[in-house]
Amino acid sequence: MYSFEFEKPSTIADAVAALGAEDAQALGGGQTLIPTLKQRLAAPSALISLSGIAEMKGVCVNDDGSVSVGGATTHATVASEAAGSYPALAALAGQIGDPAVRNRGTIGGSIANNDPAACYPAGVLGSGATIITNTREIAADDFFEGMFSTALDEGEIITSVRFPVPQAASYQKFLQPASRFALVGVYLARFADGVRVAVTGASEDGVFRWTEAEQALTKEFRPDALMDLRINPANMIGDLHGSKDYRAHLVGVMTKRAVQACV
Amino acid sequence: MTQVSMTVNGKSVSGDVEGRTLLSSFLRDHLSLTGTHVGCDTAQCGACVVHVNGEAVKSCNMLALEADGADVGTIEGQANPDGSLNVIQQAFQDHHGLQCGFCTPGMVMSAAALLKENPRPTEAEIRKYLEGNLCRCTGYHNIVKAIMAASGQDAGKIAAE
Amino acid sequence: MPKDSGIGASSKRREDVRFLTGAGNYTDDINVHGQAYVHFLRSDIAHGRIKSIDTSAAETMPGVVKVFTGKDFEGVGGMPCGWEVTDKHGAPMQEPPHPILAQGKVRHVGDPIAAVVADSLEQARDAAEAIELDIEELPAVLDMKAAAQEGATLVHDDLKNNICYDWQLGEADDAKVNEVFANAAHVTTLDLVNNRLVANPMEPRVAVAEYNRGTEDYTLYTTSQNPHVIRLLMCAFVLGLPEHKVRVVAPDVGGGFGTKIFHYAEEAFCTFAAKACGRPVKWTASRSEAFMSDAQGRDHVSTIELALDADNNFIGLRTNTYANLGAYLSTFSSSVPTWLHGTLMAGNYKTPVIQVNVKAMFTNTVPVDAYRGAGRPEATFQLERVVDKAARELGVDPIALRRQNFITQFPYDTPVALTYDTGDYNGTMDKLEVAADLAGFAARRTESEAKGKLRGLGINCYIEACGIAPSNIVGMLGARAGLYDAATVRVNATGSISVMVGAHSHGQGHETAFPQVVADMIGIDESMVEIVHGDTSKIPFGMGTYGSRSLAVCGSAMVKATEKVIEKAKKIAAHLLEASEADIELKDGQFSVAGTDKSVAWGDVTLTAYVPHNYPLEVEPGLEETAFYDPANFTFPAGAYACEVEVDPETGQVTIEKFTAADDFGNIINPMIVDGQVHGGIGQGIGQALLENCAYDENGQLLSASFMDYAMPRADDVPFYEVDHSSQTPCTHNPLGVKGCGEAGAIGSPPAVVNAVLDALNSGGKSVDHIDMPVSPSRVWAAMNS
C-alpha cells in the first residue's frame, strides 16, 4: 500500500469536511478497497473511515413502511436486523462474501463501488430504493451508471438507503466459484403496481433492469411468463467462469427461480 | 505515525502505527502474535481471522487504526486459563482437523464465532459458514467433523469413517 | 480392536498443540535482527527483450540498501534442473539457462527482472516503481502444438526449437503398434486436456537469509519440503558455496503439495544478497506473487487410443502428449511428464502393447513442475477416461470391463518399465462396491430424478508408483540425485530418543507417526521418542518429502537405524544379564534372557551405554546409530474410487453427493493420519475436476491470478468422504511393508468425478463423450446444449 493518513470522524459533517482534502477517499468496511490498496491500484492521500459515525448505522422501519439502512451498516447487521422487515434484502446481505467479510463490509461501500458482480446493486435497483447522501436523494434508477461508476460526486457520502418493501421479493444468486461474487444474480421485487427485475454479475455495463421480464411478469406473475424471453448475449460478460451465452441463459433461469420463490 | 491502543486477549496494548498498517501486521510484527497468519491478499483465505469486539473479521483486511479501542481476540488467547486446549481446539486435535496448521488459527476463530451464534449447527451450516476459510490439506472432512464434535454432536455418526 | 499406541494406532498428533495455540514457527514468523526486505520487480508481459534497465533513480530512494539486476548475477550459476531426460533419438533434452534475475529476455509474466533491498518492504516497493524499464514486447508462445511447429517464435533464442525433448516409452516399433490397432475389434480414441493447476499451499513461500562475516556462515530459513536438496543445489550449482558453510532450515511449513520441493531463485537471491548487502534479507511472497512465481502443475494435452479385441480385452494403448514445461526448467520438471507419467500408463491393466509419446514444450508461462501426484494423475486421467469411454461405446459395465483386464499375477512386469511387486485390484474393487453401496445407486438415481436432477456414478482405478528409487536405476534414467533417505536414532542416557530424519513434515504428521514405529520396535511409550527434521545442521542428510516417499524410504532408514540401536543395546543387556547375546529378547521395553525371569529395563541399558562402568569392553560407549536406505523398487499403492454427482440440468451445476475411496496402502502406521491424507487428496482432486483452472489469455497474461479467479475448493464444495483402507497387500521390499498414501486421493479422484458427470449426462439422454476439466457449470451447460 502507498502511504496515507487515516481519520475516523464521528459525524457526517466532519467526514464531509475531511473528504474535502485532495485525494481523500471514504473508507466503508474496506473489504474491496483494502485489497485494491494492497495491489497499489489506488493512492489516496487519506482514508476517511465512516465506521465511527453512529447516525449512519442500523436498520429501521419508517412510518410509511419503508426500510432505511444506514450507509455504514454492515452486511451482517442487515442480514439479522432486516430479517423481519425486509426478508429478501436480509437474505441478500447474508449471501455477500463470507461471515468475516459481512462483519466489516457495508451497504454504502458496496453500492458506491458498484462492482458489476456485487449483490447489493441488484437489491437496491430491484427494490427501486432511494440512495440518500449528505446532499441529496438519488433514485436507484439514476444512481448506477455502469461498471464501477455511480452518480455520486467527489466527496459525497451515502448516509442511508431507503427501500420500499415489496409484496414479495427474492434474490437468486449463482456463484462465481472463485470469488463467490455473483456469476449472475437476479433480484426480483413484486409491488402492487408492477414487478422489478434487476440483474447483477452478467452485464459489461454493470447492474441493469430486465425490462422485458418486468413487463411480462407484471402482466402475469408466474414462471411460464418468462418462457419466450431471451437476454441478448452480446452485452453479457464472457470470461473464464462463463461464456456470454451461458450468462444470458442463467439470467433466465435465476429470474424464473426468483418468481418461483415468490409464488 | 499514530498511536493505537486496544485490548488483545484481555491485555491492554498500544503501539505507533502508520495509517496503512493492517491489524494483522500490528498483531504479528508489533505484538509478535504470529499465530495469526496471512495467506492471501484478497480477503479470501481466512488464515488471518481474529475476533474484534466478539465478531470474526479478516485482520489482513482491516486497518489497525480501525481497531483502536477494540477488544481483539486471537488464537493465542483461545486456550483454557490453565493452558489446556479449549473445546474447539481439542476437537480439532481429536478429529485430526488440521494438517500443516497454517489455516488452523483462522479455522478455530471462525468455528468459535459460528458456535457462538449457532451452538448446534448442521453439517450444511458449518460448510456454508466456512466459506471464507480455505484449507488445502484436509479436504475439510475432519474440520467439519471437529466442529460438529465441539458442538456436542456425534461427529462419527454423521461422517461415517 | 484398534490399537491405542504403536504401529497401527490412531495416535493423536502431538504437533497439533502448537498449531492450535498459535505457537507454530513458520518461516514468516522468523525475523532476524537488522533484516532488510526484498521486493522483486517482475515482468508484466509474457515475452520481451530487455533493452535497458535504469536503476539509478531507485538507488537513491529512501531506505534503499541495494538494487540488483541480472547483471549482478552474470558470474553466478542459474537455477538447475535435477533430471536430464534423453529423447527418443538418444539426444539429451534441451536445457536453457534459468538465471536468478532475467538476463536478455523476460519469458513469463512474473519473471523477476530486478530486486530492491530496502529497510522496509514498502520502501522496496516504492523504489521498484522508480526503476525504468525498456522492454521490447515479443509475441507470446502459448499454444503447445503451434510452438512445436517449425518457424515458431522461440522462447529461448539459443535453442533449435521450443521442444525440450521428444520422448518415448514402451513399444518403439510403430509398425507393431499400428498392427495391434489395425487388428483390433474396437478402438476408442479420446482427446483431452489435463488442466494447469496452482498448488496454492495456504502458506505462501518465504525466504530469510543471513550471513555471518565473522564465521563466513550462511543460514537460510525457507519454506521447503527438502532443506538438504535446497542446500545441495544452491551451493553446488547456483552460488558455488561450500556446503559446510551453509545451513538451511525449513521450520514449520504450511503445506507443500510439490511446489515447495523446488529450488527457487528467491532462495538463492536472499542468500546471495545477505552477504552482498551485509544485512539479513527477507522475502515473503504475497499470494498474487505466488500465482506467478510458484511452479505450477499438470497442463498436458493428449490423445489416447485404446485397442480392444472382440472379447473386450485391452490389446494396445497409444498416447501422444504435449506437456507444458513453461518458460524454464524447474527443478524436477523434466521427470514429471516422462518417468512419473509414461511409466504409469499400464495402470491396473494387463495391456500387452503400450506406446507413450511425450513432447515437452517451452512456452511463455510460469514454469510447470510436480504437483501432488506429479505425472501420475495425468496418466490415470487419460487411461481411466478412455476405459470409461470404451465401456460406454461397447455398452458394457465399466466395473466389469476393468475387472476383466486387471493384472492379477504379481510380480508383474509392465510394458512401460515398472515391476509391480504386489496388489489385489479385484479385492480392492470388492471393498469399494460395498463401501460405496453401489447396489443402492439405482434407487439414489431415482430419488435424484424425482428432484429434477441427473445423477451419475463414476468409477476410477489407479495405480501409483511412490518412493521413487532405487538410485542406480533413476541415475540411469537421468536423475541427477540419489533417491535414498537417512535417519539417525540418538538414544539419550535416560532412554528417551531423538530421531533425526531426512523427511520433512509439513502436514503429514511425521512427528507423531514416526515415533509410533520406533516406540513399537522397542516397546516404550511414544512420548519418549521425538522427531527432529527440517534443519541441515541437525540431520545427517535427507532427500525430503514428496512422491509419498517419507515412510517408505525415510521410515525404512529409521527402522534400520533403530535395528542397529537395538542390536547394540542387546549386547549391553547381555553383559548386564551375564547371558549370551543370542538369548536376549526385547519386549515392552525390557531385555530378558529367553526362558528365564532375568531382565533389565530399556532405561538401565541406555544409562549403562552412557555411564559404562559395568560394560562390555568390545562395545563403544554411547547409543546412536545412523542408517541410509535406498529402496529396491518403487512402492505401488492402488485403489478404486467411486463418485456420485448430481447435475442440475438447467444450470449445469455439478454437486458431489457421495465419494468413496478404497485404497491399498499396504501396512498402515496411523490410520487416522492416512485417512486424513486421502481426504485432502480427494479435496484437491475434486478441485481439479470441478473448479481449478490456471488460465492465460492470448497474450500470456495470467487470467486466474488470485483467489478471486482461481477457484479453490471450499468446505461447501465437497461432501464427507467414505474411505476404506482394509485392502492391504504389504509392500514386499521395505521393512514396514508400507506403500505411501499422500498423493492417492489427488490421483484417483479427478477421473471418478468426470466419469460421474458424463454418466449423469448420458443417463439424461445426452450423448456427451467428454468435457475438459474443470467441469464447470458453463462447460456442462454448453456440452448439454451443443
Contact status of C211 with chain B (Cβ, < 8 Å): no
Domains in chain C, please, with CATH?
27-138+202-255+260-293 (3.90.1170.50), 300-469+633-784 (3.30.365.10), 484-629 (3.30.365.10)
Indicate yes or no: CB of C782 within 8 angstroms of CB of A253: no
pLDDT for the residue C468? 85
Instruction: Specify the fold of B87-154.
Output: DNA polymerase; domain 1 (1.10.150)
Tally of helices (H runs) and strands (E runs) in chain C: 19, 28
Instruction: Name the domain boundary from A111, A146, A163.
Output: A163
The residue range of the domain holding A249 is 168-262
C-alpha cell at C334: 523434466
Q: Alpha-carbon distance C659 to C689, whole Å?
A: 13
pLDDT for the residue C467? 87
Sheet with C132-137, edge to edge strand ranges: C105-106, C48-54, C132-137
Q: Going by DSSP bridges, is the β-strand pair C353-362/C281-284 parallel, antiparallel, or unpaired?
A: unpaired
Q: How confident is the model at residue C2 (pLDDT cuts 50, 70, 90)?
A: low
State the best of B42, B110, B117, B125 to mutate against chain A, taking most chain A CBs within 10 Å: B42
Q: Are A139 and A183 members of one domain?
A: no
DSSP assignments along B95-118, one per residue: TT--SS-SSHHHHHHHHHHHHHH-
For the beta carbon of residue C595, count every other beta carbon within 10 angstroms: 8
Q: How confident is the model at residue B47 (pLDDT cuts 50, 70, 90)?
A: very high
State the best of B4, B20, B24, B109 to mutate against chain A, taking most chain A CBs within 10 Å: B20
Is 70 exceeded by the pLDDT of residue C440? Answer: yes
Q: Are A46 and A155 members of one domain?
A: yes
The Cα of A126 is separated from the nearest Cα of chain C by a number of Å equal to 23
Contact status of B125 with chain C (Cβ, < 8 Å): no
C584 phi and psi angles, rounded to 5 deg = -85, 130
Q: Are A20 and A94 members of one domain?
A: yes
Nearest neighbour of B132 by CB, restricted to A5, A38, A101: A101
DSSP assignments along C70-88, one per residue: GGGGTTS-----SB--B-T
Question: Average pLDDT, stretch B6-14?
Answer: 98
Contact status of C367 with chain B (Cβ, < 8 Å): no
Lowest-confidence pick of A32-46, C9-23, C432-446, C470-484: C470-484
DSSP assignments along C715-749, one per residue: GGGS--EEEE-------SSSTT-B---SSHHHHHH
Contacts of C3 (CB under 8 A, 6+ apart): C9
Q: Which residues of C touch A243 (CB under 8 A)?
A: 778, 782
Contact status of B131 with chain A (Cβ, < 8 Å): yes
Q: Which residues of B touch C675 (CB under 8 A)?
A: 96, 161
Q: Which residues of B touch A39 (CB under 8 A)?
A: 41
pLDDT in tens, A128-185: 999 999 999 999 999 999 999 999 999 999 999 999 999 999 999 999 999 999 999 9
Q: Are A147 and A196 members of one domain?
A: no
Helices (H), chain B: 23-25, 87-94, 104-117, 123-129, 141-150, 155-158
Q: Are A72 and A132 members of one domain?
A: yes
The Cα of C370 is separated from the nearest Cα of chain B by a number of Å equal to 16
Contact status of C28 with chain B (Cβ, < 8 Å): yes
Q: Alpha-carbon distance C466 to C677, whole Å?
A: 15
Nearest neighbour of B138 by CB, restricted to C22, C252, C680: C680
Contact of C660 with C435, CB cutoff 8 Å:
yes
Q: Alpha-carbon distance C328 to C577, whole Å?
A: 64
Q: Which residue has the cell 502428449?
A: C321
The letter for the amino acid at C460 is N
Contact of C316 with C351, CB cutoff 8 Å:
yes
Q: Alpha-carbon distance C698 to C366, whole Å?
A: 15
Taking Cα atoms as reference points, which of C295, C367, C376, C290 lies closest to residue C324? C367
Contact status of B66 with chain A (Cβ, < 8 Å): yes
Contact of B109 with B51, CB cutoff 8 Å:
yes
Mean pLDDT of chain A: 97
ipTM computed for the complex:
0.98
Cis check: omega of the bond before C774, within 30 degrees of 0: yes
Sheet with C246-249, edge to edge strand ranges: C64-69, C112-118, C36-42, C281-284, C206-212, C217-222, C246-249
Is 90 exceeded by the pLDDT of residue C3? Answer: no
Indicate yes or no: CB of A179 within 8 angstroms of CB of C708: yes
C-alpha cell at C462: 489407479
Cis check: omega of the bond before C411, within 30 degrees of 0: yes
Q: Which residue has the cell 459481512?
A: A102
Contact status of C610 with chain A (Cβ, < 8 Å): no
Residue C388 belongs to what H/E stretch? helix C376-394
Residue A36 CA neighbour count, 13 Å, CB half: 13
Contact of C545 with C47, CB cutoff 8 Å:
no
C residues 100-139 lying closer than 8 A (beta carbon) to A: 122, 125, 129
State the best of C196, C288, C651 to mutate against chain A, taking most chain A CBs within 10 Å: C651
Q: Alpha-carbon distance C702 to C694, whole Å?
A: 8
Q: Return the SS3 of C218.
A: strand
Domain CATH number, residue A256: 3.30.390.50
The letter for the amino acid at C733 is H
Instruction: Name the domain boundary from A133, A163, A193.
Output: A163
Q: Angle CA(A91)–CA(A92)–CA(A95) in degrees, nearest 5?
A: 90
Q: Alpha-carbon distance C619 to C515, whole Å?
A: 26
Contact status of C682 with chain B (Cβ, < 8 Å): yes
Q: DSSP state, C581?
A: G
Mean pLDDT of chain C: 97
Q: DSSP state, C656?
A: E
pLDDT in tens, C70-80: 999 998 999 99
Contact status of B103 with chain C (Cβ, < 8 Å): yes
Scanning every residue of chain C, which has its alpha carbon at the shortest distance from the alpha carbon of A98? C714
Q: Which residue has the cell 496402502?
A: C665
Scanning every residue of chain B, which has its alpha carbon at the shortest distance from the alpha carbon of A8? B66
Indicate yes or no: CB of C695 within 8 angstroms of CB of A38: no
C residues 183-202 lying closer than 8 A (beta carbon) to B: 200-202
DSSP assignments along C301-329, one per residue: EEEEEEEE-TT--EEEEEEEEEEEEESS-
pLDDT for the residue C1? 54
Among the four given CATH numbers 3.40.50.1370, 2.40.160.20, 3.90.1150.10, 3.10.20.30, the one describing domain B2-77? 3.10.20.30
Contact of C492 with C477, CB cutoff 8 Å:
no
pLDDT in tens, C104-150: 999 999 999 999 999 999 999 999 999 999 999 999 999 999 999 99
Contact of C7 with C555, CB cutoff 8 Å:
no
pLDDT for the residue A64? 97
Instruction: Name the domain boundary from A163, A180, A214.
Output: A163
Contact status of B33 with chain C (Cβ, < 8 Å): yes
Burial track C320-354 (b if 16+ CB lie within 10 A, e otherwise):
ebbbbbbbbbbbbbbbbbbbbbbbbbbbbbbbebb
Contact of C732 with C422, CB cutoff 8 Å:
yes
Q: Alpha-carbon distance C268 to C396, whole Å?
A: 56
Biggest alpha carbon–alpha carbon distance for chain C: 86
Q: How far is CA C551 from CA B32, C510, C515, C546, C684, in A?
A: 35, 8, 11, 11, 22
The Cα of C383 is separated from the nearest Cα of chain B by a number of Å equal to 25
Q: Are A61 and A132 members of one domain?
A: yes
Q: How confident is the model at residue C786 (pLDDT cuts 50, 70, 90)?
A: confident
Contact status of C252 with chain B (Cβ, < 8 Å): yes
What's CA B5's distance to the chain center, in Å?
Answer: 21
Q: Return the SS3 of C772.
A: coil
Q: How confident is the model at residue C470 (pLDDT cuts 50, 70, 90)?
A: confident
Q: Alpha-carbon distance B134 to B38, whole Å?
A: 12
C residues 625-654 lying closer than 8 A (beta carbon) to A: 650-653
Q: Return the SS3 of C671.
A: helix
Q: Alpha-carbon distance A88 to B109, whole Å?
A: 29
Taking Cα atoms as reference points, which of C491, C489, C566, C490 lies closest to residue C521? C566
Scanning every residue of chain A, which has its alpha carbon at the shortest distance from the alpha carbon of B129? A99
Question: Average pLDDT, stretch C165-172?
Answer: 97
Q: Alpha-carbon distance C106 to C138, whole Å?
A: 10
Taking Cα atoms as reference points, which of B140, A181, B55 lies closest to residue C707? A181
Q: Where are the domains of chain B?
A: 2-77, 87-154
Is 60 exceeded by the pLDDT of residue B161? Answer: no
pLDDT for the residue C472? 87
Q: Alpha-carbon distance B158 to C172, whole Å?
A: 53
Residue C698 CA neighbour count, 13 Å, CB half: 1
pLDDT for the residue C191? 98
Altogether, the residues listed in chain A come to a count of 263
Q: Are A179 and A131 members of one domain?
A: no
Q: Are A50 and A127 members of one domain?
A: yes
Q: What share of chain B is helix, strand, coil (3-state, %, to 5)?
A: 40, 15, 45
Residues from A contacting B (CB-CB < 8 Å) are: 1-6, 8, 27, 30-31, 34-35, 37-39, 46-47, 49, 51, 76, 97-101, 103-104, 179-180
C-alpha cell at C725: 483402507
Contact status of C442 with chain A (Cβ, < 8 Å): no
Contact status of A39 with chain C (Cβ, < 8 Å): yes
The Cα of B46 is separated from the nearest Cα of chain C by a number of Å equal to 10
Q: Alpha-carbon distance C321 to C659, whole Å?
A: 29
Q: Angle CA(C675)–CA(C677)–CA(C679) in degrees, nearest 5?
A: 70
Contact of A112 with A158, CB cutoff 8 Å:
yes
Q: Are A61 and A109 members of one domain?
A: yes
Q: Alpha-carbon distance B73 to B120, whole Å?
A: 22
Q: Are A85 and A188 members of one domain?
A: no
The Cα of B68 is separated from the nearest Cα of chain C by a number of Å equal to 23
Taking Cα atoms as reference points, which of C102, C167, C552, C123 lies closest to residue C339? C167
pLDDT in tens, C200-214: 999 999 999 999 999
Tally of helices (H runs) and strands (E runs) in chain A: 10, 12
The Cα of C36 is separated from the nearest Cα of chain B by a number of Å equal to 14
Q: How confident is the model at residue C239 (pLDDT cuts 50, 70, 90)?
A: very high
Q: Which residue has the cell 522397542?
A: C522
Scanning every residue of chain B, which has its alpha carbon at the shortest distance from the alpha carbon of A34? B61
Q: Are A82 and A174 members of one domain?
A: no
Scanning every residue of chain C, which has its alpha carbon at the shortest distance from the alpha carbon of A38? C286
Indicate yes or no: CB of A103 within 8 angstroms of CB of B66: no
Percentage of chain A beyond pLDDT 90 is 100
Q: Cα torsion for C438, C443, C447, C450, to the nearest 10°?
A: 130
Indicate yes or no: CB of B33 within 8 angstroms of CB of C22: yes
Contact status of A243 with chain C (Cβ, < 8 Å): yes
For the beta carbon of residue B153, count every other beta carbon within 10 angstroms: 17
Q: Alpha-carbon distance C673 to A21, whole Å?
A: 58
Q: Return the SS3 of B87.
A: helix
Scanning every residue of chain C, which has its alpha carbon at the shortest distance from the alpha carbon of A244? C778
pLDDT in tens, C731-779: 999 999 999 999 999 999 999 999 999 999 999 888 999 999 999 999 9
